[in-house]
Structures are given as structure tokens and as C-alpha cells.
């Protein structure tokens, strides 16, 4: 059985792996349909992420809303957001435009799907995932073969490079719009401060447990509360979950203790300002750590005591 570029996707979804195979099989014969299928692939992957992050517990979201909410909550970095948006817009254009799709868009969509799938594998499935070498299917015979990107016609390669620059420019514009909206939202919140509740206030009982275990608050933002241990200087962040209580530990500390690493969930956010940053095969470094969630105060207290034991050893 021949290996396919997207075979690794079967580790988390057979349906998406089958869809990726269908996309590759019709890449050149049906570019219009390929762009629509790449949009479907991206939408389904984003839906999986949304389910894992619990974004739609109250009400369902539309595909574009999912992407934007994941980005606003720092669950996907800007680079991934830009790629998802490009695929969504290009797919929408293919649905509503009767003109023949351009092959450069099909080639770019294929490469972006691969990069997004690799990112998902590393973040949600296996951080040590060994990335396969990217290969673009190019039909050179009746049966078709796989050749490396450097073997493409020079004009196509240049067009792909140009398209990447367009994506980056689009990302900057989107980022500027989001920042402007954030400023507007901040102004509205400043007019109604009585509705704002700090994380440390909504999670007061858990903060008291942290204090009892020699942690003090050193910083607080809407995305996280920063605690520092008075003796070891170990940093912990508390996330703003409504129903449960979650804390995020420094990856350098977690990596020293296999039990902690196996039970933690990797999370990235600029709110974890004192944690190390990681490119994660991307171009924009972002702070990351390991998250642990608790349903009771007793469970939380026991976990902190075990952490203190690890720190003293």
C-alpha cells in the first residue's frame, strides 16, 4: 500500500484523512471542487478544536465565528488563524463564483491544509510528532506521481510565494481590525465597570487555597491570574474557566516530572508571560504551559501539596 501525505491524519480522524485523499486525487482534474473540499476539511477540523475547547456549550457557532473565537481566546496563533481564514474565503469564492478556479489557489490550499494538520497533531495529539516531508501531488502521467515542491514549474512556485505574501498582508489587516474592536470593547467596559468580575474574585476560594500553599498574586489580566510561590519562586497561572478551575504550570518544571506531563494538556497563550515561548513549527512564538483542571477544592489543594513536594526535591 502506497503512503499518502495525509496518512498521519488517521491518528485523530479517518473521515478527514479520507477527505484529504479525495482532495489530492482530484487536485488538477477538478480545481473548483477541490477548493470547496479544502474549505470543508478546514471547517471540520476547526469544529473538532471547538469541541475540545468547549466553545459551544451554550450555543452553536458558525464556521467563521469558530475561527474568530479561537483566535480571540488565544487558542490558535495568528499564523494558523490566517491560514484558516484564507482557506475559508477561497472556498467561499469557489462556491459562489462560476469562473474556473486558478491552479495557484489549489496548490496553496493543499499546502496550507498540510501545515494546519501538522499543527493540530503537535498541539492536540502528539507534541513529539515527526513531521513528514511536504510533497505536492503533480500529475505527470496517466496514473499520477508525487514530486517535491522544488520540482514545480518556476512560474507556479513564484505565484505560491506571492500568494503567501498576500496572506501575510491580510493577516496584518485582520489583526488591526481586531485590535480596533478590542479598543472599542474596552471603552464600553470602562463605562460599566460594575459588570466586570476579576478572576481572583470569582475563584476566591481557590485563590485562598493557593495562598495557604504559599502562593501570592503577582499579576492579573482578563485571561489569567499569575501566582508566585514565596519560597521556590515557581510561577502558576489560573485560567478564567467558569464551571471548573484550571491552572497552568511552567513546561520546564513539568518536563522534569513524567507524571505531570502525562496528565497535563498543552495550552498556549500570551497571558502566560513568564513561561517560555515555542514556535511550534510556526513563525510566531507564543508562551505555553501545561493545564490541569479541578472540580473540587479538596482535589485542588491535594494537587498543590504534591507540587510543593516536587519543588522541594
Give domain limits for the chain: 7-188, 199-312
Instruction: Using pLDDT thresholds of 50, 70 and 90, give the confidence band for residue 5.
Output: very high
Contact predicate 39/19, CB 8 Å: no
In sequence order, which residues have a C-beta less than 8 Å from that of residue 124 and are 6 or more positions away? 12, 49, 52
Instruction: List, for residues 189-202, the tens digit of each pLDDT value.
Output: 444 333 444 666 77
Hey, is 305 helix, strand or coil?
A: helix
User: Looking at residues 43-64, what average pLDDT do you find?
Assistant: 88
Residue 272 has pLDDT above 50, yes or no: yes
Residue 146 has pLDDT above 60, yes or no: no
Supply the Cα-derived Rg of the chain in whole angstroms. 22
User: Looking at residues 114-122, what average pLDDT do you find?
Assistant: 92
Question: Residue 101 carries which DSSP code?
Answer: P
CATH topology of domain 199-312: 3.90.1150
The C-alpha cell at 183 is 479598543
> For 54-153, where are the alpha helices, taking DSSP H only?
63-72, 78-96, 103-120
Residue 302 has pLDDT above 70, yes or no: yes
What's the pLDDT at 195? 40
Instruction: Using pLDDT thresholds of 50, 70 and 90, give the confidence band for residue 142.
Output: very low
Residue 241 has pLDDT above 90, yes or no: no
pTM above threshold 0.75 = no
What's the pLDDT at 78? 87
Contact predicate 94/79, CB 8 Å: no
The C-alpha cell at 178 is 481586531
Sign, Cα dihedral of 206, 212, 215, 221? positive
Residue 272: name the closest of 290, 256, 255 by CA. 290
Task: Output phi, psi for 62, to 5 deg.
Answer: -80, 160
CA pair distance 29, 218, nearest whole angstrom: 59
What's the pLDDT at 10? 95
Work out the angle between the directed axes of helices 63-72 and 78-96 (0-180°, nearest 10).
Answer: 170
Amino acid at each position: 500500500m502506497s503512503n499518502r501525505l495525509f496518512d498521519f491524519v488517521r491518528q485523530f480522524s479517518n473521515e478527514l484523512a479520507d477527505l484529504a485523499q479525495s482532495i489530492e486525487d482530484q487536485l488538477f482534474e477538478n480545481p473548483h471542487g477541490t477548493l470547496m473540499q479544502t474549505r470543508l476539511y478546514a471547517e471540520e477540523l476547526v469544529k473538532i478544536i471547538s469541541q475540545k475547547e468547549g466553545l459551544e456549550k451554550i450555543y452553536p457557532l458558525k464556521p467563521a465565528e469558530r475561527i474568530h473565537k479561537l483566535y480571540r481566546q488565544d487558542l490558535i496563533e495568528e499564523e494558523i488563524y490566517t491560514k484558516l481564514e484564507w482557506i475559508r474565503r477561497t472556498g467561499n469564492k469557489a462556491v459562489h463564483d462560476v469562473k474556473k478556479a486558478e491552479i495557484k489557489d489549489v496548490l496553496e490550499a493543499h499546502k496550507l491544509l498540510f501545515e494546519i494538520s501538522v499543527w493540530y497533531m503537535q498541539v492536540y495529539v502528539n507534541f513529539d510528532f515527526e513531521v513528514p516531508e511536504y510533497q505536492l501531488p503533480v500529475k505527470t502521467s496517466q496514473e499520477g506521481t508525487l514530486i517535491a515542491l522544488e520540482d514545480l514549474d518556476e512560474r507556479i512556485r513564484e505565484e505560491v510565494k506571492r500568494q503567501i505574501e498576500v496572506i501575510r498582508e491580510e493577516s496584518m489587516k485582520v489583526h488591526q481590525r481586531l485590535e480596533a474592536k478590542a479598543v472599542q470593547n474596552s471603552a464600553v467596559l470602562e463605562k460599566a465597570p460594575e459588570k466586570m468580575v476579576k478572576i481572583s474574585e470569582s475563584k476566591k476560594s481557590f485563590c485562598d487555597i493557593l495562598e495557604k500553599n504559599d502562593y501570592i498574586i503577582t499579576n492579573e489580566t482578563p485571561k489569567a491570574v499569575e501566582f508566585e510561590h514565596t519560597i521556590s519562586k515557581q510561577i502558576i497561572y489560573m485560567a478564567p474557566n467558569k464551571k471548573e478551575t484550571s491552572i497552568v504550570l511552567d513546561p520546564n518544571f513539568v518536563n522534569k516530572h513524567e507524571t505531570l506531563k502525562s496528565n497535563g494538556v498543552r495550552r498556549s497563550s500570551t497571558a502566560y508571560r513568564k513561561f517560555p515561548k515555542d514556535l511550534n513549527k510556526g513563525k510566531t512564538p507564543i508562551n505555553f504551559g501545561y493545564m490541569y483542571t479541578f472540580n473540587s477544592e479538596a482535589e485542588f489543594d491535594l494537587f498543590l501539596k504534591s507540587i510543593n513536594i516536587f519543588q522541594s526535591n
